[in-house]
């Protein structure tokens, strides 16, 4: 702990401004840091866009499920020499189909079904990962490894990410309608079943995108927190999108940067930053923040009191 | 423009009826919600759908709108299937207040614009015509000044009017309203009723579910009494009788088996007022379960 403090404070305490400056820009002189910064910012953008739909649709738990369910897919893909993203997508999407099927065929509530299916997939993945000889580092799957990301992985991340953004961008109005009022979507003759599976496959794609950056354990944070933060700050969907992307990208950049100096987990730093943004929004949000709600209540109470006094 | 097949001009000429043909719905928890229900909602009328809570009103609505598929029987908009009718923008639906997420970050204007999506191209870019129709619809329900409000910032009556405006913007010839008068003050109720009367006179077919019995006779041309099945249907004067209401809400089954009607759809709604069906022990089984769970 003291070592950590020292490493943060020593350059600040050093007299020479030159040294401090060098310390500050040091990460930007390293190729792998530059790469980690822009990759995580890209992933942050993709996740932030989708997170607006996921929070409004109430699918956060589904995101958690898909992210854990991709593990066997990653292992199988490596074993067969296929791109990891292909295996991850197939198993992630497969898990959502399995969840839909089990839910339709049993009397269980959705959260129970999700709990059963995703832990089942995840456990199966663990067994495979420990039995199939491969050079997969389980720790990297679980917690991400954006600092050591290979060019090949970057290409996969970019393809999955751009595909996600393209689908959402082209279908954004229908997807929003589907989140808001699926009955109306049906009433005007839209194929709601197709929209359901579109949103699910986009979810699986996004998780594939974020796998290398945040790892499967933390990816759900990237899929929920930016949208949740933005939802506390605005009543307009367009603005919600912008706030979500802004908070997510800056969390990714600062998180990655700090993780270098702190020598700490990059995914962890990114999500901590996101959580700080969320807590700030929750406390100081202009309309739905705790402080604002508190003073609004007090204001209303005082107004009512005044009115009562005037009446009597 | 895949959905804009039926041009608005042709549709203005004719009105459409709803033919409910012998449908039964059992939910997955084995609750039977509707049993052999048949009726015909006549074109160009306001028809009130009346029955106790849990009597199947919402289930009938959902079957008509195609939100659920009945275990038996089918629904048509005259001779058009529900799917086709929806693609032709014939059917508009005004949801109950508690079906809507009022915290959703969306404005009144955007909600009403959603009524136009079926007419737009795949990217849903509103044309000048779409925008004009949305503004006209807002004007007609008196909501123009609230168009930029987030939907949760409206009063109960304003919320109803916003969704009514969406139905207007959709220009559906068949409009279903699920409990439009709950949580609405008398003045708004009156203005909604006036609007429904105008719509009927323009050739729309309006089906309203309500348990506000007092207002039925003031604006409904016809009524359908529903408790697990259609108990009676016909003109308000003939059908909305104390005797029929007692039967509908009293819940005691009247034993005459549902006759397999061979009537044409037009005749079906003119069943004698007393026409009744069995409500085979529909509601009982749920309680005895609890123990073995």
Nearest alpha-carbon partner for A177 in B160, B97, B112: B112
Inter-chain touch B87–A231, beta carbons under 8 Å: no
Taking the C-alpha atoms of residue A202 and residue A108, their distance in angstroms, rounded to an integer, is 26
What b/e readout covers B93-116, taking b as 16+ CB neighbours within 10 angstroms?
bbbbbeebeeebbbbbbbbbbbbb
**Chain A residues with CB-CB distance to B29 below 8 A:** 107
pLDDT of residue A12: 60
pLDDT of residue A160: 93
**Chain B residues with CB-CB distance to A239 below 8 A:** 105
A142 confidence band (pLDDT: 50, 70, 90): confident
The percentage of residues in chain B with a pLDDT greater than 90, rounded to a whole number, is 54
Strands in chain B per DSSP E: 18-26, 32-41, 46-50, 72-77, 80-81, 91-94, 174-178, 205-210, 222-227, 229-235
Taking the C-alpha atoms of residue B104 and residue A66, their distance in angstroms, rounded to an integer, is 25
CATH of B16-90+174-181+202-293, one of 1.20.1250.20, 3.30.2020.30, 2.160.10.10, 3.40.50.300: 3.40.50.300
pLDDT of residue A101: 92
Helix, strand, coil % over all residues of chain B, rounded to 5? 40, 20, 40
Domains of chain A: 30-311 (1.10.3470.10)
pLDDT of residue B161: 94
- Asked which of A83-92, A142-151, B34-43, B109-118 is least confident by mean pLDDT, the reply is A142-151
User: How distant is the Cα of A47 from the closest Cα of chain B, in angstroms?
Assistant: 19
The owner of tokens 């359901």 is: A196
pLDDT of residue B246: 85
Among B67, B88, B122, select the one facing A186 at the smallest CB separation: B67
pLDDT of residue A311: 79
Beta-bridge partner residues of A288: none
Instruction: Please say if the pLDDT value at position B3 is more than 90.
Output: no
Residue B116 token pair: 């136009």
Taking the C-alpha atoms of residue B114 and residue A181, their distance in angstroms, rounded to an integer, is 10
**Chain A residues with CB-CB distance to B66 below 8 A:** 186-187
Q: Which residues contact A194 (CB under 8 A, 6 or more apart)?
A: none
Instruction: Please say if the pLDDT value at position B273 is more than 50.
Output: no
Q: Which residues contact A115 (CB under 8 A, 6 or more apart)?
A: none
Instruction: Please tell me whether residue A309 adopts helix, strand or coil conformation.
Output: helix
Taking the C-alpha atoms of residue A46 and residue B184, their distance in angstroms, rounded to an integer, is 42
pLDDT of residue B250: 78
Nearest alpha-carbon partner for A272 in A227, A222, A312, A307: A222
pLDDT of residue A15: 62
List residues of A whose CB lies inside 8 A of any B CB: 56, 107, 170, 173-174, 176-177, 179-181, 183-184, 186-190, 231, 234-237, 239-240
pTM for the full predicted model = 0.84
Helices (H), A58-150: 60-69, 71-80, 84-105, 110-131, 138-143
Give per-residue pLDDT as tens, B186-220.
Answer: 888 999 999 999 999 999 999 999 877 888 888 99
Among A187, A234, A240, select the one facing B65 at the smallest CB separation: A187
The percentage of residues in chain A with a pLDDT greater than 70, rounded to a whole number, is 95
B1 confidence band (pLDDT: 50, 70, 90): very low
User: How is chain B split into domains, by residue range?
Assistant: 16-90+174-181+202-293, 99-171
Q: Which residues contact A30 (CB under 8 A, 6 or more apart)?
A: none
Taking the C-alpha atoms of residue A68 and residue A214, their distance in angstroms, rounded to an integer, is 13
pLDDT of residue A7: 63
B55 confidence band (pLDDT: 50, 70, 90): confident
* B56 conformational bin, left if phi > 0, alpha if psi -120 to 50, beta if neither: left
Beta-bridge partner residues of B46: B206
B182 confidence band (pLDDT: 50, 70, 90): confident
Is B201 in the A-facing interface, judged by CB distances under 8 Å? no
Inter-chain touch B117–A183, beta carbons under 8 Å: no
**Chain A residues with CB-CB distance to B65 below 8 A:** 183, 186-187
Q: Is residue A197 a contact partner of residue A23, using CB atoms and an 8 Å limit?
A: no
Beta-bridge partner residues of B75: B20
Q: Which residue in A189, A231, A239 has the most chain B C-beta atoms within 10 A of its own C-beta, making it the best mutation to test that interface?
A: A189
Mean pLDDT score of chain A: 90
Instruction: Please tell me whether residue A58 adopts helix, strand or coil conformation.
Output: coil
Task: List own/partner pairs for B27-34 with CB under 8 A and 24 or more apart.
Answer: B28/A107, B29/A107, B29/B286, B30/B285, B31/B282, B31/B286, B32/B228, B32/B280, B32/B282, B33/B59, B33/B228, B34/B59, B34/B60, B34/B63, B34/B70, B34/B228, B34/B229
What string of DSSP letters covers B51-115?
A: --TTSSHHHHHHHHHTSS--SEEEEEETTEEHHHHHHTT-EEEE--GGGS-TTSS-BHHHHHHGG
pLDDT of residue B267: 41
Is B115 in the A-facing interface, judged by CB distances under 8 Å? yes
Query: For residue B2, what is the DSSP state?
Result: T
C-alpha distance from residue A59 to each of A96, A196, B145 (Å): 11, 11, 34
Is B63 in the A-facing interface, judged by CB distances under 8 Å? no
Section B106-124 average pLDDT: 94
């Amino acid at each position: 702990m003291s070592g950590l403090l020292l490493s943060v404070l020593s350059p600040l305490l050093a007299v020479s401004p030159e040294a401090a400056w060098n310390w500050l820009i040091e990460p930007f002189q390293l190729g792998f840091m530059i790469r980690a910064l822009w990759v995580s910012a890209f992933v942050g953008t993709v996740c932030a866009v989708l997170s607006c739909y996921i929070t409004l649709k109430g699918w956060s738990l589904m995101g958690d499920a898909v992210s854990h369910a991709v593990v066997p897919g990653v292992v199988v893909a490596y074993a067969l020499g296929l791109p990891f993203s292909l295996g991850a997508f197939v198993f992630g999407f497969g898990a959502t189909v399995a969840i839909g099927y089990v839910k339709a065929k049993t009397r269980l509530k959705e959260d129970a079904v999700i709990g059963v299916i995703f832990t089942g997939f995840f456990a199966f993945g663990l067994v495979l990962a420990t039995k199939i000889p491969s050079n997969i580092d389980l720790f990297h799957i679980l917690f991400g490894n954006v600092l050591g990301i290979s060019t090949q992985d970057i290409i996969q991340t970019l393809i999955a990410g751009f595909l996600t953004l393209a689908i959402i961008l082209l279908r954004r109005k229908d997807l929003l309608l589907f989140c808001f009022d699926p009955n109306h979507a049906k009433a005007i003759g839209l194929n709601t079943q197709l929209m359901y599976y579109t949103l699910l496959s986009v979810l699986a794609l996004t998780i594939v995108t974020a796998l290398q950056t945040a790892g499967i354990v933390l990816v759900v944070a990237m899929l929920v927190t930016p949208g949740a933060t933005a939802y506390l700050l605005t009543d307009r969907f367009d603005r919600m999108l912008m706030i979500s992307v802004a908070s997510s990208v800056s969390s990714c950049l600062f998180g990655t940067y700090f993780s270098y100096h702190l020598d700490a987990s990059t995914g962890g730093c990114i999500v901590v930053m996101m959580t700080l943004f969320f807590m700030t929004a929750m406390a100081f949000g202009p309309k739905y923040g705790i402080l604002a709600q508190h003073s609004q209540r007090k204001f209303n109470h005082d107004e009512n009191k005044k009115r009562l006094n005037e009446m009597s | 423009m895949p959905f804009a097949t039926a041009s608005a001009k042709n549709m203005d000429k004719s009105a459409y009826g709803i033919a409910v043909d012998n449908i039964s719905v059992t939910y997955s928890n084995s609750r039977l919600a509707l049993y052999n229900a048949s009726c015909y909602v006549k074109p160009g009328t306001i028809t009130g759908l009346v029955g106790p809570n849990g009597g199947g009103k919402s289930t009938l609505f959902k079957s008509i709108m195609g939100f659920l598929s009945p275990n038996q029987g089918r629904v048509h908009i005259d001779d058009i299937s529900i799917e086709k009718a929806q693609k032709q923008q014939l059917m508009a639906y005004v949801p109950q207040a508690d079906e809507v997420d009022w915290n959703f970050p969306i404005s009144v204007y955007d909600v009403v614009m959603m009524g136009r999506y079926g007419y737009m191209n795949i990217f849903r870019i509103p044309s000048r015509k779409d925008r004009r129709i949305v503004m006209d619809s807002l004007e007609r329900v008196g909501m123009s000044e609230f168009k930029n409000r987030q939907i949760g910032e409206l009063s109960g009556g304003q919320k109803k009017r916003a969704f009514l405006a969406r139905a207007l913007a959709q220009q559906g010839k068949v409009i279903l309203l699920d409990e439009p008068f709950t949580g609405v003050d008398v003045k708004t109720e009156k203005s909604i009723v006036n609007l429904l009367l105008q719509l009927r006179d323009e050739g729309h077919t309006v089906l309203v579910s309500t348990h506000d019995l007092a207002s039925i006779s003031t604006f409904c041309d016809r009524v359908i009494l529903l408790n697990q099945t259609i108990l009676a249907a016909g003109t308000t004067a003939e059908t909305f009788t104390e005797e029929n209401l007692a039967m509908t809400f009293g819940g005691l089954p009247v034993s005459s088996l549902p006759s397999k009607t061979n009537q044409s759809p037009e005749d079906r709604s003119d069943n004698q007022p007393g026409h009744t069906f069995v409500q085979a022990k529909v509601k009982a089984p749920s309680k005895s379960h609890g123990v073995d769970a």
